[in-house]
Chain A
Amino acid sequence: MDVQHVLTVPGRYEEIQKVCQFMADGAAVSGLDQTAIFHIELACDEACTNVIEHAYGGEDRGEMTVSWQLDGRSFIIRIHDNGRSFNPDTVPVPTLPPDAAEPENVKVGGLGIHFMRQLMDEVRFEFDDKSGNTLTLVKKKK
């Protein structure tokens, strides 16, 4: 397994682009293609937004520590925070076209997690009383 690359940033929305760039650079040197890099950026954006909104309940209430490493063909991302436990099962499932019978019935709550699950090969949430939330995202190299 490759060495782990780590970045810690304050829990602020303006810091998320820095996280996305850190992951995009890591994915590029790891040999992932442009489409995969774009998917990683979007998934990390959604994950960090969830940390600020749900785990910390707002900006400037804690840090986010993110890391990446390459394990064979798997690009592994971890996003850690010390906020409230985040249970993805409590997040509503969006109702999107074509499942929404009428466009007016579209429900967009839970879109961030929906994106993560669509874009990544694995999505795992873990919570520990002492160490907080850890989200693991895996993107496989083609």
Chain B
Amino acid sequence: MSSMNIWQESLGDEIWLVAINGRLDQTLTPSLEQQLTVLLDDGKARLVVDLSQTEYINSGGLRTLVTGWRKAKQQEGNLVLCGLSGRLQEIFHMVGFDQLFQIYPSRQTAKAALANA
């Protein structure tokens, strides 16, 4: 399943990847919210969100990720992040979300961490 800027694929081991391309702002957030909801409602609660192609994120994008993370945790899964640019790392650090999310350099390391959890 995919949209132009957000797509998802199975990484195996019941782990799913959601990748975001472009600016995660009010124009893209509803699509991310919808895709995370579909996955989580389907019981797919071990998620890697790849932000390596994400240029930008605002508070709405952060709220959507926190909501997804919270729902994944409620289902005894997790939502982890990977591939953050320096700018995105600055935003996450500014609001302490680098302490909230598990953040990995690549989708491979993120997947390995989820598979071993």
Contacts and interface: CB of A to CB of B under 8 A. Distances in A.
Interface string B62-78: 11001000100100000
Contacts of A114: 59, 95
A7 interface: no
Interface size of A as a range? 20 to 34
A106 B96 CA distance: 10
A4 interface: no
B99 to A, nearest CB: 4
Contact of B58 (A46, A103, A108): A46
Chain A binding surface SS class: helix
Contacts of A99: 96
Contacts of B87: 38
Interface in B66-111: 66, 70, 73, 87, 91, 94-97, 99-100
Contacts of A9: none
B96 A16 contact: no
A67 interface: no
A106 B73 contact: no
Contact of A98 (B27, B59, B91, B96): B96
B96 A17 contact: no
A108 B63 contact: yes
A96 B97 CA distance: 8
B59 A46 contact: yes
B99 A97 contact: yes
A14 interface: yes
Nearest to B60: A49
B87 to A, nearest CB: 6
A13 B25 contact: yes
Interface in B39-72: 56, 58-60, 62-63, 66, 70
A111 B99 contact: no
Interface string A69-100: 00000000000000000000000001011110
A97 B100 contact: yes
B54 to A, nearest CB: 14
Contact of B94 (A98, A108, A115): A115
A52 B58 CA distance: 15
Interface of A: 13-14, 16-17, 38, 41-42, 45-46, 49, 52, 94, 96-99, 103-104, 106, 108, 111-112, 114-115, 118-119
